[in-house]
Amino acid sequence: MRILITGAAGFLGSHLCDRMLSEGHKVVGLDNFVTGSRDNLVHLVRNKDFTFKRHDVSEPITVPGKLDAILHFASPASPNPASPFGYPNLPVETLKAGSMGTFHTLDLALIHQARYVFASTSEIYGDPLEHPQKETYWGHVNPVGPRSMYDEAKRFSEALIMAYYRSKGADTRIVRIFNTYGPRMRLDDGRVVPSFIQQALNKEPLTIFGDGMQTRSFCYVNDLVDGIYRLLLSSEHLPVNIGNPVETSILNFAATINRLAGNPAGVVYSPEDRMDSDPQRRRPDINRAKAILGWNPKVDLEVGLSRTIEYFKEKLGIK
């Protein structure tokens, strides 16, 4: 297949490029580098099956040659208002990527009669009132809240994709991605994994917002990408959760990172107002992914964290 990947220079996008190339496909990557990084693609520069175009998906897209699949992964994705790369600081860019970007990629999919996969998110469930979250849960999102630029853009995209599927016959798929971690996360986007690892490698105490008892379920990026690849090959048109259902408290997560990184500095607690709408708990129900895609996460948290710590060590020049 010849596959267009938007957000190709991002954390998930660049891993998708790698996986698609390793499966023997050709990849056309797009990115506008608002939050993506050239460093994530530098190893592909000499790959003859990979081409790259700097492009903002909020502008119409034209690609020479036939496309067989389009993966729309372009969007700011960090909720951290303290980071310049967090979507609270890129509200209009985020809303454009999840509306105009979705229109343009869907129109392209129709023209090419290409398979289409959209990167949706567990954020569409908002601060959920049901645990774990099934795909049938409608979510609990404040349309005018501090995260609404992301949550509502993703919800809008889902509605738009279903409209193109139902009324125009577009060959669409929707993956709802839960917390994912691994190499190539931005060091500076304020998400918990890179923040913790950076502090651990600097032998500083890890900063915990709130009491640390809020849980997260972290999926290693290779597992996530495997689920997305299976979804691409499937003909499932309704949303599918992909994530790791193993819940870990933030406190336990911090302790594991400190142990793996050999950091004796422990943790410090900070008031929670930085993330006043951060959900207390979120965990995927992955029964649909198991049944439809035969998918299951395989990478153990300690293995995945070790690989991620290695990546950040190299990135930071720590021996």
Least CB distance to its own copies at residue 8 (A): 24
CA 66 centroid distance within chain: 27
Least CB distance to its own copies at residue 31 (A): 22
Q: Binding segment for its own copies among 43-51, 167-175, 185-193, 258-266 (CB under 8 A)?
A: 167-175
- E strand map for the chain: 2-6, 26-31, 50-54, 69-72, 115-121, 171-177, 180-181, 206-209, 215-216, 219-220, 240-242, 248-249, 267-270
Q: Does 149 bind its own copies (CB under 8 A)?
A: yes
| Total of chain residues touching its own copies, rule CB under 8 A | 36
- To the query of whether residue 150 is one of the catalytic residues in this protein, the response is yes
User: Which of 87, 150, 164, 165 does the annotation list as catalytic?
Assistant: 150
In the complex with its own copies, the residue whose CB is nearer, 154 or 230, is 154
Q: Please tell me what DSSP assigns to residue 211.
A: T
The residues, any chain, with a CB within 8 Å of residue 17's CB and separated by 6 or more, are 5, 8, 27, 29, 41, 44, 50
And the tokens for 154? 């993703």
In the complex with its own copies, the residue whose CB is nearer, 98 or 297, is 98
Single out the residue of 15, 155, 282, 288 in contact with its own copies (rule: CB under 8 A): 155
In what helix (H) or strand (E) does residue 53 lie, and over which residues does it extend? Answer: strand 50-54
Q: Does 269 bind its own copies (CB under 8 A)?
A: no
In the complex with its own copies, the residue whose CB is nearer, 145 or 205, is 145
CB 85 within 8 A of CB 56: no
The DSSP string of 144-169 is TSTTHHHHHHHHHHHHHHHHHHHHH-
And the tokens for 44? 């592909």
Q: Binding segment for its own copies among 24-32, 49-57, 159-167, 209-217 (CB under 8 A)?
A: 159-167
Single out the residue of 47, 99, 256, 306 in contact with its own copies (rule: CB under 8 A): 99
Residue numbers 183-242 binding its own copies by CB under 8 A: 238-239
Least CB distance to its own copies at residue 158 (A): 5
In whole angstroms, give the CA distance from residue 146 to residue 125. Answer: 15
Q: Does 33 bind its own copies (CB under 8 A)?
A: no
CB 242 within 8 A of CB 219: yes
Which chain residues interact with its own copies by CB under 8 A?
Answer: 91-92, 95-96, 99-100, 103, 124, 126, 138-145, 148-149, 151-153, 155-156, 158-160, 162-164, 166-168, 174, 238-239
Active-site residue numbers? 150
